[in-house]
């Protein structure tokens, strides 16, 4: 087993105390383990006041950092020391580089002169993280000067990578590790409809980067990959594109894991599913039932969640397959219905007025019944004790029934349920357009219902109001048929929650599962084959998986839940973290070797 050789690890990311995407989950889920294995483990992120108030607990500067802070402040960089309020509470330094704004042109010139990073036409979106990362390099330089010679700097993504270039420019032998979680060019090409993997060897990276206007991020990423002591990516498939686009084969693959012990046991997951499903079904009742009803006991809930990348995330493929499933179930006159949630955040004009009205009418009915609950219970008991019989007139008063009837009349609506919970530009929105093209219109006769739910699941969305993991727990199947997915946390997270899921062989996690022996067909975590297959074959195979799950009986679905938990345990940080130790140790030994050669 590999063990860390460095006494201090500095791990820098734009997502430390600043949640943006999946890297936040990577850092957060392994922080306690890193802290346990390194004598000194320090996370470094940007100082964002709004996030620092909730995610960060500031403390006094330790002795070893006071001189560093003073010298940095003279250079226009302020640092804040404390704890990141996550599992393990790792020591954290937040860097405020706003004082470097006046020197941005000098920094950009240095990056061009030394490393050919072309940021001539870059916007603040690029400049802000680059200045911050430059300041991180200044911080590490000061730590090095202070005598922290057994130190490794690990940076994530291009946003943190100018720290590596700063240290190279200074000629310091600081061991550095650079991890790209997805190449900028790969994501851009795939999102633009290019068959990335079929054409990888023929793509001219620099020409394509300039054609797409991402030359600043591409050249930064390339420079970091080539100048770091150790270059890593998160999967085999990302390593292939990185080698071609960035000009360096990854030294180590750093798979993304989870601390599976923090997720509910299968028994606890079953309880959570029941509780959370109740909230999901309450939503379905006020969203659909004003227009028509269907039997919720025969309804399954599928979902997809992630960034709005229509092709990259396989949203297009999922909708096509759902359209097929709808026609199959309808043609068979099946009792089964499927409700598919699309938890894909985008710009909206707020919750639809009719949805809020329907929710209020539903809640009024529910509260009215609850308010009279004690009386109804008393009447039931009295009627049974007195006569041994039970009838509605003995239990429910005329006034109560009359009031309920008025509430029901208000609740019922004409028309059909909306395709989206929120007002979006339906004439331009790709998801809405695909629903209609595939015959998913939320008609009464449709066996597959769709709900585009375009907000973040933070538990405060005024509808289901379940946080991310609880929303997953209330569903039956997670569907993530990605085309471009360097790793893919969501199917792993769903499985860890005891929810079966679908990934693909174009996702890093999917390829990992295939290496682990996962078979084709419906599994606890199914791997859809997309590489080298026609669109028609992909749609057909995903439809088979969805149909196969929809037709499974409850005991079979419970077995898939158990299998999902077992497969999720294969991606535990307890196993994957050794690759991090290997990357850090390799960086340390390479820089030591360089120093020995010089001397």
Residue pLDDT, tens place only, 506-548: 999 999 999 999 988 999 999 999 999 999 999 999 999 999 9
Surface-to-core class of residue 334, CB atoms within 10 Å of its CB (0-12 exposed, 13-18 middle, 19+ buried): middle
pLDDT given for residue 581 in this prediction: 97
pLDDT in tens, 206-233: 999 999 999 999 999 999 999 999 999 9
- pTM of the predicted model as reported, rounded to 2 decimal places: 0.91
H/E run at residue 277:
helix 266-288
Report the alpha-carbon distance of residue 500 to residue 558 in Å, rounded: 9
Write down the mean pLDDT value for the chain.
94
Nearest to 423 by CA among 346, 355, 359, 352: 352
Residue 306: pLDDT over 60:
yes
pLDDT given for residue 448 in this prediction: 98
Report the alpha-carbon distance of residue 537 to residue 35 in Å, rounded: 46
pLDDT given for residue 265 in this prediction: 95
- Confidence class for position 300, pLDDT limits 50, 70, 90: very high
Average pLDDT (5-13) is 96
- Confidence class for position 598, pLDDT limits 50, 70, 90: low
Average pLDDT (352-364) is 93
Q: What is the percentage of the chain residues whose pLDDT exceeds 90?
A: 86
The angle formed by the CA atoms of residues 93, 96 and 102, to the nearest 5 degrees, is: 150
pLDDT in tens, 365-380: 888 788 877 887 887 7
- Confidence class for position 599, pLDDT limits 50, 70, 90: low
Average pLDDT (126-144) is 97
pLDDT given for residue 459 in this prediction: 93
CB within 8 Å of 442: residues ≥ 6 apart: 288, 416, 417, 418, 419, 449, 450
Q: Which long-range contacts (CB under 8 A, 24 or more apart) does 143-147 make?
A: 143/8, 143/10, 143/68, 144/172, 144/174, 146/64, 146/67, 146/68
pLDDT given for residue 374 in this prediction: 81
Nearest to 253 by CA among 4, 511, 447: 511
**Token code pair at residue 9:** 């690890």
């Amino acid at each position: 087993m590999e063990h860390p050789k460095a006494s201090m690890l500095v791990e820098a990311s734009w997502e430390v105390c600043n949640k943006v995407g999946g890297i936040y989950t990577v850092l957060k889920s392994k922080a306690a383990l890193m802290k346990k294995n390194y004598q000194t483990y320090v996370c470094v992120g940007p100082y964002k006041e709004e996030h620092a108030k909730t995610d960060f607990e500031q403390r006094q500067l330790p002795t070893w950092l006071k001189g560093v802070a003073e010298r940095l402040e003279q250079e226009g960089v302020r640092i804040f020391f404390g704890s990141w309020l996550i599992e393990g509470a790792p020591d954290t330094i937040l860097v405020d580089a706003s004082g470097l704004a006046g020197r941005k042109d000098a920094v950009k010139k240095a990056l061009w002169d030394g490393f050919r990073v072309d940021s001539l036409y870059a916007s603040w979106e690029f400049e802000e993280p680059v200045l911050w990362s430059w300041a991180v390099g200044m911080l590490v330089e000061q730590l090095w000067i202070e005598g922290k010679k057994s130190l490794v700097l690990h940076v994530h993504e291009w946003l943190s990578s100018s720290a590596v270039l700063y240290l190279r420019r200074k000629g310091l032998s600081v061991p550095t590790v650079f991890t790209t979680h997805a190449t900028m060019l790969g994501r851009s090409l795939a999102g633009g409809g290019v068959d990335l993997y079929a054409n990888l060897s023929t793509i001219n990276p620099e020409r394509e980067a300039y054609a797409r206007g991402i030359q600043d991020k591409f050249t930064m990423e390339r420079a970091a990959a080539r100048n770091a002591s150790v270059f890593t990516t998160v999967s085999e498939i990302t390593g292939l594109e990185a080698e071609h686009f960035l000009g360096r084969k990854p030294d180590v693959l750093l798979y993304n894991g989870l601390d599976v012990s923090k997720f509910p046991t299968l028994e606890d997951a079953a309880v959570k599913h029941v509780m959370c499903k109740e909230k999901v079904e309450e939503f379905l009742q006020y969203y659909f039932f004003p227009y028509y009803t269907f039997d919720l006991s025969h309804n399954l809930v599928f979902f997809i969640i992630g960034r709005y990348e229509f092709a990259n995330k396989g949203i297009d493929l999922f909708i096509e397959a759902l359209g097929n499933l709808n026609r199959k179930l309808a043609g068979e006159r099946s009792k089964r219905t499927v409700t598919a949630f699309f938890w894909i955040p985008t710009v909206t004009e707020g919750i639809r007025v009719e949805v809020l009205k329907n929710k209020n009418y539903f809640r009024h009915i529910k509260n009215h019944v609850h308010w009279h609950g004690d009386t109804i219970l008393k009447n039931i008991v009295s009627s049974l004790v007195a006569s041994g019989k039970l009838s509605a007139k003995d239990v429910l008063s005329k006034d109560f029934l009359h009031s309920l009837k008025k509430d029901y009349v208000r609740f019922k609506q004409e028309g059909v349920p909306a395709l989206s919970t929120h007002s979006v530009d339906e004439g331009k929105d790709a998801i809405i357009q695909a629903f209609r093209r595939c015959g998913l219109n939320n008609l009464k006769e449709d066996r597959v219902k769709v709900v585009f739910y375009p907000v973040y699941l933070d538990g405060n969305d005024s509808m289901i109001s379940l946080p991310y993991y609880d929303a997953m727990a209330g569903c039956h199947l997670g569907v993530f048929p990605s085309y471009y997915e360097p790793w893919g946390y969501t199917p792993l997270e769903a499985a860890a929650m005891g929810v079966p899921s679908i990934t693909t062989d174009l996702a890093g996690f999917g390829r990992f599962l295939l290496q682990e022996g996962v078979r084709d067909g419906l599994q606890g975590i199914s791997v859809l084959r997309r590489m080298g297959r026609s669109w028609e074959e992909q749609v057909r195979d995903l439809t088979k998986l969805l149909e196969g799950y929809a037709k499974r009986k409850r005991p079979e679905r419970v077995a898939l839940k158990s299998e999902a938990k077992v497969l999720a345990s294969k991606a535990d940080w307890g196993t994957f973290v050794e690759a991090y130790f290997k990357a850090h140790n390799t960086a340390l030994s390479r820089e030591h070797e360089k120093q020995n050669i010089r001397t």
